[in-house]
Amino acid sequence: MMAVILLTDNDVYMVPERIETGIVLVVVLFLTYLLLLFSDAILRVIGRQGASVLVGVMGLILCSLQWKSC
């Protein structure tokens, strides 16, 4: 809810843009829910080492995003 409030400033964005932002956030929430729901099956497919690789790659991406914002 806080993301919608921050991403839909009344002075900057028109109503269609705010609705679009809300829809995108709901879609992302739904995809996250599905990934969490099927996380056991995903872990079985990629294995423990695959999960470790994904954690490392995601950590690298997060670190680069954090570094770029400074």
Domain boundary assignment for the chain: 2-69
Contact 34, 41 (CB under 8 A): no
Higher pLDDT: 64 or 5? It is: 64
d(CA 54, CA 20): 30
Closest CA to 25 of 2, 54, 47: 2
List CB contacts of 17: < 8 A, sequence separation 6 or more. Answer: 8
Render pLDDT for 14-43 as a digit per residue (tens, 0 to 9): 888 888 888 998 999 999 999 999 999 999
